[in-house]
Chains A and B, each alone.
Chain A
Amino acid sequence: MENTPIVNEPGALAGKKVMWVEDDSFLSDIIARKLSAEKCLLVHTKDAEEALPLVGTEMPDVIMLDVLLPGMNGFELLTKLKSDPKTKSIPVILLSNLGQESDVEKGKSLGADRFLVKATLKLDEVIGQIKEVLAGAKE
């Protein structure tokens, strides 16, 4: 994924490592640009299978996880992460364009910190949610 240098301001995310699991290349590109502006380190993968081994080695500060992914879906990856003592304490924000209450409930019951519906949030609001989760604020 291309990272374009952007004028940015140091913020609460500066230096934090964010893993983003997203298969859509358009969204991935925007996310990379935004996180670069926030001066944080991005680990991006396009699917859950690729993400799973990387979580243990990269140990990100937070994981942004799409739900509908090719192959293993976001709920399945979340289940695996929360059952592994090494990764279970890493906060996970589910980010999807699903948004039915059953999806939200499922995400929470599996241990997600937040469930965000992409189309309803501005990009700055998504960043704000990451900052809140990193600051320890739970919904």
Chain B
Amino acid sequence: MEPRQPNQSESDFVSIVAHQLRTPLSGVKWTLDMVLGGTLGALSAEQRALLLKCYESNERMIVLINDMLSVSRIDSDKLEYRLVPTQILDLLDNVLFEMASSVGKKKLRVLFANKDKNLPRVLIDVEKMRAVLQNLLENAIQYTPKGGKVEIDFQVVGELVQVSIKDSGIGIPEEDKKNIFKRFFRAKNAAKMEKNGSGLGLSIARGIIEKHGGRLWFESKVEEGTTFSFTIPIAK
């Protein structure tokens, strides 16, 4: 069953609740920043480890609230889009640059099947598309074992550019495939890994891609990997 669309007052309510929740969470985050940063004195290793767990839990709550807000805004058409012709290869390079540390930690290889500099520019909202690329790449990195690889491909398909991100990760179990874009759903093998995630990222990514007039889909085999692909219109 598809989720019901929220009406305007429900969406405003979500925005207000998100704001009210973020304020005390900001206080906790900043307090822990100060304590962990040593501003208030040295910590024992055990104190530091426990406070880091507090910090991570607080970050998870902030991510969850941000994701809920994004979903609510997509549903109510409140998410504003400013479409500009953009070279998506450049945007992808920027996103990968930001993720270099997590790629390096896992000794992953990131390969481009086709990095054609003549790829036509696409009509996108850069910040929204950055969020989509971050989500798909974070998933690929998170669920690919150490030493694995992530392959990125671009193709022109008619009046669209198709982007594919293929990982050599754990894959999505057959019985979970139909639910993978559902909100708050997490595949069984992903949940077992105890990685941070709200189960909202793919739902948000699909909402953003569809708002651009494109489509997001995937193919996957357990223990072999997953390929997420999406299309977006070429700028005229």
Could you list which residues of chain A lie within 8 angstroms of chain B, going by C-beta atoms? 6-8, 24, 26-27, 30-31, 33-34, 37, 68, 97-98, 100-102, 117-120, 122-124
Contacts and interface: CB of A to CB of B under 8 A. Distances in A.
Given A26-B27, A37-B39, A123-B34, A118 B80 contact: no
A33 B66 CA distance: 27
A3 to B, nearest CB: 14
B19 A101 contact: no
B23 A7 contact: no
A51 to B, nearest CB: 19
B223 interface: no
A34 B78 contact: no
Contact of A26 (B15, B22, B24, B82): B24
Contacts of B82: 101
Per DSSP, are chain A's interface residues mostly helix, strand or loop, or mixed?
A: helix
Contact of B26 (A34, A37, A97, A124): A97
A97 B17 CA distance: 11
A97 B39 contact: no
Contacts of B116: none
A118 B27 CA distance: 9
Interface string B12-24: 0001001100111
A122 B33 contact: yes
B33 A123 contact: yes
23 contacts: A6-B40, A8-B39, A24-B23, A26-B24, A27-B23, A27-B30, A30-B27, A31-B30, A34-B30, A34-B34, A97-B22, A98-B15, A101-B80, A101-B82, A119-B22, A119-B23, A119-B26, A119-B29, A119-B62, A119-B65, A119-B66, A123-B33, A124-B33
